[in-house]
Structure 1
Amino acid sequence: MDHRPPENQSPPAGPTPRRIVSLVPHATELLFALGLGDRVVGVTHECDAPAAALALPQVTADQLPPGLSPAEIDRAVRERTERGEAIYRLDEQRLADLDPDLIVTQELCPVCAVSFDEVAAVARELPRCPEVIALDPHTFGETLGDIRTLAGRCDVKDAGVDLVAEISRRADAVRIAVRGGERPRVVAVEWFDPVFTGGHWTPQLIEMAGGIDLCGLPGERSETTTWDAIRALEPEIVVCIPCGYDADRSLAEATPFAQQLWSTGARRVVTLDASAYFSRPGPRLVTGLELLAHVLHPDRVPTPPDTVHEVARPTASAARG
C-alpha cells in the first residue's frame, strides 16, 4: 500500500467517490470485482478485463513503437526511464472531460503505468482536484490489503470482506491440496532478453503452490540474470511468464529461446498467461496460484483453471544452429 510521506499524499478522504478513473489494469479488475464497475468512467489502453472495461474511454496510450523484440523493448524502456521520459502517454484533456473524483494508479513499476508524480501533478490542475490513490503491493498479502483499502475508500467494505474471504479460501484449498507432496525446484522466467526472473509476489505463489523458487525473493523486485546462472541452479521446472503477455503470446515469445530454456536441464518447460494471472497483482492472482499448483502437482490439482502450453524441445538441427 501507499507509504509516501504526507506531503506527497492526496488530500484527506472526502465524500464517497462516484466517478473513478483507473490508470492501471489490476485496479480496474479490482474495482469491478468489488461491484464498482458502474462508477468507473475511464481506464487505460491495457485494461482488457473484465470485458466491460473494453467499452470504457481510454486515457492512456503506448509510447513505444509496435513490433519490437524483447531486447529492443528492454533497451527502449531503459533509455526512456533514464531520460525521465514516460513509457505511456496520458491524455490529459480526456481525463479532464471525464471529471473524476478519484484516480487509482500505482507507483510500483514505471513500465506498468503512467508515473504517480505525473498523475498527481495533473490531478492538482483539474477543477475537481480528484483524490489519487496508489496501490503498490509487493506481496500476495499486500494485494489483499489493497482490496480492503479500495473497498473502504469507496464505501463497499462488505464487498471487500467477501472478496478477501473468497481469495483466501481458494489459496487455502491450494495449500491443502499440495501439502506433503514433493516440492519441485522452480525458476520463473519473466523476460527472455535479457533474462529476468520473477520477483514480488511470484516467489510466494510458487511456494504456496508447492514448489521451491530458486531465484526470486518474496517482495523483492524481479532481477536480471543469465542462462548460465539458471543452469547452475538445476531447476526441475521452468515456468515462462513474460510480463504483460497472454498464454499464446507467451509461447510465441518463449519458442525462440527453447534451446536456452531446455539447456537448464529442466524436465518440463511451460508458458502461462502472465498478463491475466502473474503480471497484475489483482484478484486473479489466486487463479495464477491454482494454475501453478496444477503445473507443479498435476496429480493433486488435476484440473487447470486455464491454458498451459508446453515449450517444445528443439530438434537436434535447431540445437546445433
Structure 2
Amino acid sequence: MRLSIATAFAAMMTIASAAHAAITVTDDSGATVTLPAPAQRVVSLAPHVTELLFAAGGGARVVGAVSYSDYPKEAQTIPRVGNNKALDLERIVALHPDLIVVWRHGNADRQMERLRALGEPIFYSEPKHLADIAADLDKLGVLLGTSTQAHAAATKFSADIDALRAQYAQRPRVGVFYQVWDDPLMTLNGDNVFSEIIGVCGGTNVFAADKTRVPTISTEAVLAADPEAIVTATPGATPPDRPLPALDRWKRWPALKAVARDNLFGIDGDWINRPTPRLALGAARLCEDLDAARGRRPK
C-alpha cells in the first residue's frame, strides 16, 4: 500500500533531523542519496529541476543550470553549464557543487557516467505521476535543509490538484488526443503526468493503452479514435481565439469530432510539459477546456 505524502514526509523528516546523522533520501531512480550536511552549492541539469529547487526554497543555492531554466525570473541569471544534449563538465567541476540534480532520461548516459566520476552526490528527478512532484519537492527540501518551505509548496500543489479532481473528475468523460509533435505525429500513452491530468479533468487519453511511452502514430489512428478534444502545447498561454498552427492540419477533416465542435486547444507548454508546481495551472486550464467541450455537445 502506497504511503501518503504526509507519512512519507514525516519519515524523511525523522531521518533528516537525527542528531549528527547524514541526510539521506531516495531519488526517482530508487538510488539512495546521502549528504553529510544540507547542500549549499547545487547544479541543476534540467529546467524542471531548477523550478523544483526554487519552489523547495533552494533557489539561492543553485550555482549552475542548463538552457531554458527560465522560471522563476531569478533563474535566468544563473550561469549556464550546457543543455540536455551536451554538458560543460569542466564548468560544472569549477563550480564545486556538493549536489547535482539531473533529469534521468533527459541527460545522456555517457554524460551521466562522467558526472558520476566526479564523485559528487547525484539526485535523479523524473516525476512520472502527480504525487511524485510533491514527493520530489519534499526530498529536495530535506537535501537543502529547507523542509518547511518545500513541504508547504508540496502541500499546496497537492491541494490544488485535489480540488480540481473533486470538481471535474466525475463529469462526463471527454476523449482527448494530446499532440506532442506534429511531424512526425507523436502523443503520450497513459504512463505519464499529463495523461493523469486528463483523468483529473474528467477526460480519457485515447492513446493511453499504447505500450510506447511517447508513440509515433498515424493520422489514420487519430481519425479512427475520433477524439472529442485535441490538445497541444504552445509557446505561451494561447487564448481560444488565437490560431493554432500545429493543429490546423486537423481542419482537413471537418467531420472529426474535435474539429466539428471547435475543440482544438492550446495550453502554455511550460504549464504542461514541466513536472513542477506550475502543472496545477496547466491542469486548471485543461479542465476548463474540457468543460467547454462538454458544453458544445449536441443537445
Normalising by structure 1, we get a TM-score of 0.73
Q: How does 1:47-126 map to 2 (within 5 A)?
A: 47-61=69-83, 88-108=85-105, 113-115=106-108, 117-125=110-118
Runs of 4+ with deviation above 4 angstroms: 217-220, 250-253, 260-263
Residue 37 (structure 1) aligned to one of 28, 51, 59: 59
Give aligned-pair identity as a percent. 27
Alignment partner of 1:17 is 2:31: no
Alignment partner of 1:211 is 2:203: yes
5+ unaligned residues in a row in structure 1: which ranges? 62-86, 301-321
Alignment partner of 1:294 is 2:288: yes
Amino acid paired to 2:85: Y
8 Å CA contact 1:184, 1:212 repeated in 2: yes
- The Cα RMSD (Å) is 2.7
Deviation at 1:115, TM superposition (A): 2.3
Q: Which residue of 2 aligns with 1:285?
A: 279
Residue 202 (structure 1) aligned to one of 189, 194, 199: 194
8 Å CA contact 1:196, 1:222 repeated in 2: yes
Shift in alpha-carbon separation, 1:159–1:299, aligned structure 2, 3 A: farther
8 Å CA contact 2:232, 2:266 repeated in 1: yes
Q: Which residue of 1 aligns with 2:20?
A: none
Shift in alpha-carbon separation, 1:58–1:191, aligned structure 2, 3 A: same
SS in 1 for 2:265: strand
Alignment partner of 1:3 is 2:29: yes
CA distances 1:189-227 after superposition (whole Å, capped 9, x unpaired): 111111111241111100101212211259972222111
For 2:147 and 2:115, how far apart are their aligned partners in 1?
Answer: 29
Q: Which residue of 2 aligns with 1:169?
A: 159
Q: Which residue of 2 aligns with 1:72?
A: none
SS in 1 for 2:29: coil
Bigger shift: residues 16-25 or 157-166:
157-166
8 Å CA contact 1:187, 1:239 repeated in 2: yes
For 2:44 and 2:246, how far apart are their aligned partners in 1?
Answer: 31
Shift in alpha-carbon separation, 1:218–1:133, aligned structure 2, 3 A: farther
Deviation at 1:139, TM superposition (A): 1.5
SS in 1 for 2:195: helix
For 1:261 and 1:293, how far apart are their aligned partners in 2?
Answer: 25
CA distances 1:228-271 after superposition (whole Å, capped 9, x unpaired): 111111111101127xx4446x9665055343676643121111
For 1:206 and 1:255, how far apart are their aligned partners in 2?
Answer: 19
For 1:157 and 1:27, how far apart are their aligned partners in 2?
Answer: 17
CA distances 1:82-115 after superposition (whole Å, capped 9, x unpaired): xxxxx6221122212211111100113xxxx332
For 2:150 and 2:219, how far apart are their aligned partners in 1?
Answer: 42
Alignment partner of 1:271 is 2:237: no
Deviation at 1:57, TM superposition (A): 0.4
5+ unaligned residues in a row in structure 2: which ranges? 1-26, 295-299
Residue 139 (structure 2) aligned to one of 140, 149, 172: 149
For 1:218 and 1:52, how far apart are their aligned partners in 2?
Answer: 39
For 1:192 and 1:299, how far apart are their aligned partners in 2?
Answer: 22
Normalising by structure 2, we get a TM-score of 0.78
SS in 2 for 1:142: helix
